[in-house]
Chain A
């Protein structure tokens, strides 16, 4: 299991959020946390509270849109959704992550 660091690798946390929203459409913060956990086969677990500053920042950057809605269990929660800019950002983030992984892998295999 990989414990996500709190502040570093900010980009990675953003990538996870963007990807989750791309896969699931609309989610509230708790939903995103659950999705990341489930979809990564319990390997990734974010400190749930740190999602929120990231979500708000991404909303300020125009990647996300948010609105208050009622959940299936009849609770009020704030739902997030990708914007077009967010879609584009996701593509870029995926690419740079691939490169990071490639680079790290290459380094590890360096003999």
Chain B
């Protein structure tokens, strides 16, 4: 007994059966009463009543069955019948369910990501009142610590405000040092977020008594498990951070990872301890390196808070004209590094739209499948109508088929999507960074999936019902079918297919544009040549080296690495261009005395490099000289700049020997000019960059740029040995420069992958759509075609009449889709480097691709049309 009929039984045994029993009992009692009145004995009266009535139990059951038939039981029957019908045409069922699966699956994945990245609230209390306070312009939007303290002190709209920054650090456990990611936070951080420790304790504002007063760290749950074997005894223990002792005071709960999406730091320490780990930035008002967020008072709107903060910004600008001249504030919802995700939002939404389009394409496919099926069954349906089946009954049955298919397809799609999302959550796109793309599907995702499946199944499965509704059974049965309405019905199916082809060619265009952009960006002039280069990146602070020691060690590294066999050049830069570090500074013209930011003509990226860096990196020196060992602290300050820097500072004048100033009021002489390059992203406009000699601008951030004539697998082992000899505890990240570029290529890679996947889906759907239509049109007209062959029609004429419509649709749809694709590419250009559809490769690719799809899809129907054997055909029909 199926679960459904059990449910039906429990249901019917209650109210329904009672009703029936009461009705039958009344009947029998009335008969007995009448019999008694007619003079029978009670015994006779009961016997007679019983005889006339028949078996009351059987009658009761039968009556109740009539009532329940409208309820669950009949639904089960409908479903069984539908399943049987579908089993009889497995090709139809599989095609329909697969089609739906693709559409639903794509949507669930995209919605899952969208949900995780944008829709899901932060997992902290009062998340809706948390706002990040950013500096006005993009890219330069973090805050300095003194400004943070002033914001916090003077505002009247936030109940609390905290700050944090994330950086790598060396943690020594025993004799090994690990590179870890730590959030340096204001001491009130955990209290503002309303978090409580899993055990141990958190640090609070009350622990803070001036700089370096709270050498405590709080471990994240994941780090505690992976590095301390989940040992609760760790609380109270001492660990070394950059060779300085810190006490572990607690472990954060499993869910807690701060307020940045996808970022899971290893532990937290008070920012005021920065000097203990070798940093010294908090006291500088010009040093913008903190993210600030606050919790709004409950009666304050974000608007009021922004006004409040901006009036403070104006005060600060008056008090500190040199540094806070252009200070301003805007509030954003916490996301991924400020509002980095906001930049990706249009793209995510666009992808959602694309996914919806894929679903629409799947649905149009579904609709034409159902339409074809209904047309094939029109005779059966007509007969059933004629013998008295109600139209509602037929509708109900087709409805059950549509629902069954949509549930199967939807379930399959959702399962695939859940698997995909699951593997996405396991994925760490940048091994080096503590990023987990936590996009597990939640209830909301599943509800959306179910709703999508049922809606699309129902709406598009039932569209063809209009045929049944309006068909004249007598006409249909006579077999010359619906010559009258054929024109209109086919027009509707044509429209569906046309829409589908447009969508497909749009998606193919978009993915080709992205693919080409990707290819361009790999060949773009970067201002350096990553080919054959291995990077070894570290921070000498991690093992507690002082600045002077750092310079010595760097020199030793350069000398010893250069002797590794196969190494042709080696240089040092603090942060590689297109890496994740790097800083900017305002630049001033020679003779300036006003060092307010607003007086600066432009902002430039700056780097510290060893003399040999440009050779090792493959950056061309266009004029002047490279640095030498003589450019040390005792020599005049010098710099090498790029072409854009020259152009912005001096226009067309000869740059060598000219001077400029920086906010430290020092004068720098330009001794060399190098080619332009990309520094932050591949899609950026040319920007100014300047390079200092390492000897004049020492830094502990050290990236060895090792150019070798040998493959990297042969260079890396001796490189590791050599560096290990210099400082065995120092952790290095060693990778080829190509791999290190993964971060900047990431958006373009994702865009290409997503668009490619969508394009493939759309292409598959279009192929099945065109195939279905061509096949159907050939099979419907087999007889007519057969007669024409018999009358001597040429093959070409035959093909033309059978396939004219699909081909016209294909050509028209492709053209429209390409136009839409061209329009959509402007959006793509924000993400993908050099994305332009006006590229012969792209246009040719789309036309070629669509033609191939069309040919592929019409191949079998064409063969079928050409192989018509008129004599056999006419005999059979």
> Footprint of B on A, CB under 8 Å?
28-30, 33, 45, 47-50, 52-53, 55-57, 60, 71, 73, 75-78
Contacts and interface: CB of A to CB of B under 8 A. Distances in A.
A47 B26 contact: no
A77 B23 contact: yes
B22 A53 contact: no
Interface stretch (B48-56, B189-197, B343-351, B562-570): B48-56
B66 A53 contact: yes
Given A53-B59, A56-B67, A78 B23 contact: yes
A49 B26 contact: no
B66 A48 contact: no
B24 interface: yes
Interface of B: 19-20, 22-24, 26-27, 29-31, 33, 52-56, 58-60, 62-63, 65-67, 69-70
Contacts of B30: 28, 30, 71, 73, 75, 77
A29 B23 CA distance: 8
B52 A48 contact: yes
Contacts of A33: 27, 52
A104 to B, nearest CB: 22
A28 B69 CA distance: 23
B549 to A, nearest CB: 94
Given A29-B23, A73-B30, 7 more contacts: A48-B54, A49-B24, A49-B58, A55-B63, A60-B67, A71-B30, A73-B33
Contacts of A77: 23, 26-27, 30
Nearest to A55: B63
A92 B70 CA distance: 25
Contacts of B55: 49
B54 A49 contact: yes
Given A52-B63, A71-B30, A60 B70 contact: yes
A48 B67 contact: no
Nearest to A29: B27
A52 B58 contact: no
Given A47-B52, A75-B29, A52 B70 contact: no
Contacts of B29: 75
A71 B26 CA distance: 10
A78 B69 contact: no
A8 B186 CA distance: 89
B26 A75 contact: yes
Given A47-B52, A47-B54, A60-B70, A52 B24 contact: yes
9 contacts: A30-B26, A33-B52, A49-B24, A52-B60, A52-B62, A53-B65, A76-B22, A77-B23, A78-B22
B66 A50 contact: no
Given A29-B27, A30-B30, A60-B69, A50 B22 contact: no
Nearest to A75: B26
Contacts of B19: 78
B572 to A, nearest CB: 88
A4 to B, nearest CB: 12
A75 B33 CA distance: 11
Contacts of A60: 66-67, 69-70
Nearest to A56: B66
Contacts of A52: 20, 23-24, 27, 59-60, 62-63
B38 to A, nearest CB: 13
Nearest to B67: A56
A86 to B, nearest CB: 16
A50 B54 contact: yes
Nearest to A47: B54
Contacts of A56: 20, 63, 66-67
Contacts of A30: 26-27, 30-31
Given A49-B54, A52-B20, A56-B66, A28 B59 contact: no
B63 A53 contact: yes
B851 to A, nearest CB: 57
Nearest to B49: A48
Contacts of A48: 27, 31, 52-54
B29 to A, nearest CB: 7
A55 B23 CA distance: 11
B513 to A, nearest CB: 60
A17 to B, nearest CB: 14
Report which residue of B19, B58, B62 has the largest number of chain A beta carbons within 10 angstroms of its beta carbon: B62
A37 B261 CA distance: 82
A76 B55 CA distance: 22
A48 B56 CA distance: 10
A47 B23 contact: no
A72 to B, nearest CB: 11
B150 to A, nearest CB: 78
Contacts of B27: 28-30, 33, 48, 52, 77
A29 B66 CA distance: 16
A47 B31 CA distance: 13
Contacts of A73: 30, 33
B799 to A, nearest CB: 53
Contacts of B53: 47-49
Nearest to B31: A30
B26 A78 contact: yes
A93 to B, nearest CB: 13
A48 B835 CA distance: 83
A73 B36 CA distance: 14
A1 B198 CA distance: 90
Contacts of A53: 59, 62-63, 65-66
A30 B22 CA distance: 13
A76 B422 CA distance: 63
A80 to B, nearest CB: 10
Nearest to B63: A52
B56 A49 contact: yes
Contacts of B23: 29, 52, 77-78
A77 B23 CA distance: 6
Nearest to A58: B66
